[in-house]
Structure 1
Amino acid sequence: MSNVENIETRIKELSPEELTAFREWFIKFDAEAWDREIEADSQEGRLDFLVGEAREEKAKGTLKDL
């Protein structure tokens, strides 16, 4: 059995309260991992094209506020 299959099996055995706690932990864990990935991409310049696109849109007057 692979690690993923083992984890899936264990998750299915959780009580509703444990599942809620796990879900909350995993959402935070996943968000932190995503933040680290975005930060690394930014530091490496992989997101620079987005700044260029935003500047072009602003110059054209088509930039939309979020």
Structure 2
Amino acid sequence: MTKLEQIEKIVAELDKYEFEAFSAWFEALQAERWDRQMEADAASGNLDHLAEKAFTDFRAGKTRRL
């Protein structure tokens, strides 16, 4: 059995309260990893093309107020 299969089995066996706690923990972990990846992408310049596109569209009048 793979690690993933073991985790799936264990999670499926959690009671309601354990599952809620696990879900909250996992959601926080996902958010933390997302933040770290966004920071790394921004620092490395991987998002520069998106910012430049937004500025280009703004200067060309292709945007609207939210």
* TM-score when normalising by structure 2: 0.93
Point out where structure 2 has 5 or more consecutive residues left out of the alignment. Answer: none
Question: 1:14 Cα deviation (Å)?
Answer: 0.3
Point out where structure 1 has 5 or more consecutive residues left out of the alignment. Answer: none
Indicate the SS of the match to 1:61: coil
Question: Quick check: 35-44 or 56-65, which moved more?
Answer: 56-65
- RMSD over equivalenced CA pairs, Å: 1.1
Q: Aligned residue pairs: how many?
A: 66
Identity %: 39
Compared CA separation, residues 64 and 31, structure 1 to 2 (3 A): farther
* TM-score when normalising by structure 1: 0.93
Look up the match of 1:55.
Answer: 55
